[in-house]
Structures are given as C-alpha cells and as structure tokens.
C-alpha cells in the first residue's frame, strides 16, 4: 500500500516535472538578490571556491544526463509528460550503475543551481526536496517498468540501486552516442543553466542596469546563448528532430 501511494504521488509529480527547474531558478534569483554575493562567506576567495563548487556540481549533473540520454534507446527516457513509456528496458551505460540516472543528474543539477545563488540553506532545501520528489517519481516509473518487463526488470533491479549510484558493475552502452537526440533532449536545460547564471550574476548586483551595461562580455555571452537557442528552435520547427522519441 505504501509503494502504491508513492507511485500515485509520483505520477502527479511526473506530469509537472518539467517545471521544477523554472521554479528553482525563479526563486533562486530572489535568493541571489537577498544574498548579494556568490557565496556565504566574508572572504572573497572562499566565495569564489563556493561558486565554482556549485558550478561543478550543476555541470556534473548536466553532463551525466547528457551521457545517459545520448546512449539511451529510442522511445525511452523521453520528454513525454503524460505517462511513463519505454520501448525497451535500458540496462547498460549509466543504467548499469543506477536505475534512474536522469534523476540523479537532475538532483545534482538542481543542487548546484541552488548553490550558485550563494545560499547554503537554499542549496540544502533544494537537495532534500529534489530527493523526495524524484524518489516518488521513480516509484511510479518502477511500477510501470515491472508491468512492462517483469522478470527482466527484477533481474536488473536486484543489483542496481535506485538513486545512489554504485561504483562497480559498469556495462558498456548498448547503443553508440546519438548526438542529435542528445541535442533534442538537453538543449533547453543548457539554456536554462545559462539563464540562471546570467540572472544570478545580475541579482547579486541588485539589477543595476548601468552596472550591467558595463559587463559587455556577460551580455555578449548570454546573447550568443539566446541566438543558439533560437537556431535550434528553428531547425526543430523544420523537422530536424521529427523522428526523436
């Protein structure tokens, strides 16, 4: 009964999971404004270390997701929001280390983004909230996979942990890296990461327009990121990703 309740809650969270990163960034901008600096310390060097640690955690989560999505079977690990789907059971690559590598990547990514606000309290809140959310989403997806794949899922899940990756038993990915699918699945997340960095940086300086006008490198970098996003959206509208699932 407890497992079923987790799964029911997980399905509701599954449907809205795409909004979490937007909420974390939006609240994070307000947190960064209140903190007013990239770290919680009085020492500038210590704050620099905090910032780059947060950046590394967020980037590690994003890269782990990219690796997972790039090697996953088509018709699995998709961007579908209504209900879980799986054309086959992924058990190799990242899936040989942890059953839910995309959610491990998300937890790391969200925690790193929260750290980048400069607030340890916000980072801890987002970490624990993310674990709770994705634990329940994982329970929902596990129910679906058990129904679909039965004994094959049981044999795989017996040795592979759900959310805490193991450091042994790695199996080479069944499929080669598919760069076009990786781009389709992850380009929005990369843009959101860059957007968070831009607005956190500006929020630390209390949205001073005159100060930002002097940050030409930052403005050009974010402008380039917007241009890349628009280009990808254009080729997407032209059917470049039409066979992606």
- Name every residue whose Cβ is closer than 8 Å to that of residue 211 and which is 6 or more positions away in sequence: 205
* Residue 1 pLDDT exceeds 70: no
Q: Please state, in angstroms and rounded to a whole number, the distance separating the CA atoms of residues 245 and 240.
A: 13
CB atoms within 10 A of CB 56: 13
CA dihedral 174, 180, 181, 182 (to 10 degrees): 90
**This prediction's pTM:** 0.92
pLDDT at 2: 66
Q: What is the DSSP letter of 96?
A: G
What's the sign of the alpha-carbon dihedral 56, 62, 65, 67? negative
Q: Are 41 and 35 in contact (CB under 8 A)?
A: no
Per DSSP, helices labelled H in 119-215 are 120-157, 179-204, 209-213
Among residues 191, 188, 196, which one has the least CA distance to residue 28? 196
pLDDT at 231: 95
Q: Quick one: what percent of the chain has pLDDT higher than 90?
A: 77
Q: Please state, in angstroms and rounded to a whole number, the distance separating the CA atoms of residues 74 and 226.
A: 28
pLDDT in tens, 157-200: 999 999 999 999 999 999 999 898 888 889 999 999 999 999 99
Q: Please state, in angstroms and rounded to a whole number, the distance separating the CA atoms of residues 28 and 40.
A: 14
Look up tokens 């628009």; give the residue: 230
Per DSSP, helices labelled H in 72-119 are 101-115
């Amino acid at each position: 009964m407890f497992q079923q309740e987790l799964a029911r809650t997980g399905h509701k969270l599954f449907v809205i999971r795409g909004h979490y990163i937007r909420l974390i960034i939006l609240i994070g901008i307000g947190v960064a404004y209140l903190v007013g600096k990239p770290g919680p310390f009085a020492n500038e060097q210590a704050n620099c270390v905090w910032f780059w640690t947060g950046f590394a955690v967020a980037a590690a989560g994003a890269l782990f997701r990219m690796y997972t999505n790039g090697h996953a079977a088509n018709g699995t690990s998709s961007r579908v929001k209504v209900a879980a789907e799986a054309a086959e059971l992924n058990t190799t690559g990242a899936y040989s280390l942890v059953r839910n590598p995309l959610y491990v990547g998300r937890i790391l990514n969200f925690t790193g983004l929260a750290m980048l606000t400069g607030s340890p309290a916000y980072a801890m809140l987002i970490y624990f909230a993310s674990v709770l959310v994705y634990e329940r989403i994982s329970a929902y997806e596990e129910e679906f996979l058990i129904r679909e794949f039965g004994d094959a899922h049981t044999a795989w899940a017996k040795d592979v942990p759900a959310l805490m990756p193991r450091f042994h038993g790695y199996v080479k990915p069944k499929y080669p890296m598919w760069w076009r699918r990786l781009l389709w699945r992850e380009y929005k997340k990369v843009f959101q990461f860059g957007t968070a960095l831009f607005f956190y940086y500006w929020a630390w300086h209390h949205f001073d327009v005159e100060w930002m006008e002097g940050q030409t490198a930052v403005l050009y970098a974010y402008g380039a990121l917007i241009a890349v996003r628009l280009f990808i959206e254009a080729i997407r509208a032209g059917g470049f990703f039409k066979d992606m699932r």
